[in-house]
């Protein structure tokens, strides 16, 4: 599916010509703090497979040894999670209007999920340990 989105103020826009119709949910404590809840993201996208306009308005934050996060300097919208291990970008599903047909695929850092979050769709559930093992094994 093709998706186009923007931050809240419209200063930063994102165009992804082709992305899987899958949503990943991250329950890690960092995502909970950054997004105010779980991070519902589009599947990982490589840098050559999307276009961002307004790059000069993006604030980067190294949130761990293996990832950085981007937000809009003007309105503060969360724009992406960039995995340095595999160079993939994960974009918040809420930035895009055209994702109604997307389906939940997996939940990661499932062992950090607050007890009050429940999804009806069946998903693959990976603990922090299982996800990090998969990430660093797949990127080697």
Could you please report the per-residue DSSP string of 57-85? Answer: GEEEEEEETTEEEEEETTT--EEEEEETT
Tell me the mean pLDDT in the region 7-28.
95
Task: Check residue 140 and give its pLDDT.
Answer: 60
| Single pTM value for the model | 0.88
Predicted confidence (pLDDT) per residue in 90-106, tens digit: 999 999 988 888 999 99
Kindly state the average pLDDT of the residues 67-82. Answer: 96
Q: Which domains does the chain have, with CATH numbers?
A: 3-138 (2.170.150.70)
Q: Are 39 and 92 in contact (CB under 8 A)?
A: yes
Q: Is the dihedral of CA 135, 131, 15, 23 positive or negative?
A: positive
Quote the percentage of the chain above a pLDDT of 90.
79
pLDDT (0 to 100) of residue 85 = 86
**Nearest partner of 135 among 115, 106, 112, judged by Cα:** 106
Spatial contact of 60 and 74, defined as CB atoms under 8 Å apart: no
């Amino acid at each position: 599916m093709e998706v186009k989105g923007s931050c809240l103020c419209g200063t930063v826009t994102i165009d992804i010509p082709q992305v899987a119709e899958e949503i990943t949910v991250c329950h890690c404590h960092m995502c909970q703090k950054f997004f105010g809840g779980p991070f519902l993201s589009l599947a990982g996208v490589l840098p050559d497979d999307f276009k961002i306009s307004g790059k000069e308005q993006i604030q980067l934050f190294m949130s761990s040894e293996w990832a950085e996060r981007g937000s809009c300097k003007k309105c503060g919208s969360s724009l992406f999670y960039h995995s340095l291990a595999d160079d993939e970008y994960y974009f918040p599903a809420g930035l895009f209007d055209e994702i109604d047909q997307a389906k939940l695929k997996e939940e990661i850092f499932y062992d950090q999920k607050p007890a009050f979050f429940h999804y009806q769709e069946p998903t693959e559930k990976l603990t922090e340990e299982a996800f990090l093992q998969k990430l660093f094994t797949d990127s080697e």
